[in-house]
Structure 1
C-alpha cells in the first residue's frame, strides 16, 4: 500500500490531484488546500504508493487544547479504494487530533454517503446531529463526533 506521512508544502500539487480525483467538482479549491497546509501542518496526511504515486489524503484542524478537532477531508483516489486506505487515513487523523489536545473530533458527512457513515461509526464516531441545509437547501449532512477515552 505504500506509506502515510505528514504532508509538506512540497506536496501541494499531489493534494490537489487527490482531492480532484476523489471529489471532482466538489473538491476544495487550491486556495483552501494551501491554507489547510499552512494552518494545520501537523494534521495533513498524504498516502503514497511505494513508487511515490499519490493515493489519498486526510486533513484535519485543531486550534486549541480542549477544543474539538475537525476532520475536514478524507480522500482516496478511485483506483486505490476498497483496500483500507480511507480507514487508515481517518484513524490516523483522528488519533493525531487527539494527540494535539482534542478530546472530541467532529466531522460532517453527506446523508447519502452510507459507506462513509459506516466507516466513521466503525472508528467510534457517533451521529450527534443533522443539518438539512448544511451546504444549502437540499444538501443534508450528518454531524458525527468521536470522543477520546482514557488511554487514547
Structure 2
C-alpha cells in the first residue's frame, strides 16, 4: 500500500502541475487549464490548493480559490493509476480540514454526466443549485452546487467522528495560515 501525503502548493510545483494537466486532460482531448491559471494557483492561491503524492511522486491535485469566507473548488484531478485509491481521500481530507473552521460556503461546478464528482459533492453536503447552460461557452453547461454553513457543521461532525479532523480544532483562513504546509497522510 502506498503512503499518500497531501500538501499545499509551492511556486516550484508549476511544471509538475502543467505536466499533470497535459496527462489528465490534454492527452485525453479535453481542454487544459491555462498556464496563467496554474501560475496563479502556485504563487497566489497556494494555501488553498493541494497536491497529493504517492511514495514521493505526484498523484493528483485539488485547486480552489477563496474570497472572504467563500471557497470555490475548481479542480480535483487524480492520475488514473491512483483513482479509486486513498489519493482522493487524502486530498479531500487536507482540503476540508483547511476550510472547516472558517468557510461559510464552498462552490463546485461539474458536468452533468460526471456522476462520480456529483456523488462526491453530495457526500460532502453540497446541494445542486442551478444549471448554467453556457458556463464555458455555447453548449458547455455546468451544474453549480454549494455546501452551506449548516452542511459544513454536519460535515465537521462526520469528519471528527471518524478521526479525519481534530475535535473542536478550528482551521484558520488561508491568509492567516500562510505557507502552513497543511498535510494529510493516509
TM-score if structure 1 supplies the norm length? 0.86
Verify: 1:33 aligned to 2:38, yes or no: yes
Unaligned runs of 5+ in 1: none
Match for residue 50 of structure 2?
Answer: 45
SS of 1:117's partner is helix
Which fold has the larger relative contact order, with Cα–Cα distance below 8 Å and residues 6 or more apart in sequence? 2
- 1:91 and 1:27 mapped to 2: Cα distance? 25
- 1:58 and 1:131 mapped to 2: Cα distance? 23
Deviation of 1:70 after TM superposition, in Å, equals 0.3
Q: Which has the larger radius of gyration?
A: 2
- 1:86 and 1:19 mapped to 2: Cα distance? 16
Unaligned runs of 5+ in 2: 157-186
Match for residue 89 of structure 1?
Answer: 91
Task: Tell me: CA distance 1:78–1:48, structure 2 relative to 1, closer, same or farther (3 Å).
Answer: same
SS of 1:118's partner is helix
Query: How many residues matched?
Result: 148
TM-score if structure 2 supplies the norm length? 0.72
